[in-house]
Amino acid sequence: MSLNRALEEIRDDLIRWQQTGLNESQTIQAIVLPVLSELGWNQRNPFEVYPPGHSQALGNYSPTT
51 compared with 29, residue with greater pLDDT: 29
pLDDT, average across residues 44-48: 82
CA distance 51 to 30: 14
Banded model confidence at residue 47, pLDDT cuts 50, 70, 90: confident
For residues 28-39, b (16+ Cβ closer than 10 Å) or e, as one string?
beebeebebbee
Check whether 58 has a pLDDT greater than 60: no
* pTM of this structure: 0.69
**What was the pLDDT predicted at 13?**
93
pLDDT tens per residue, range 20-38: 888 888 988 899 999 999 9
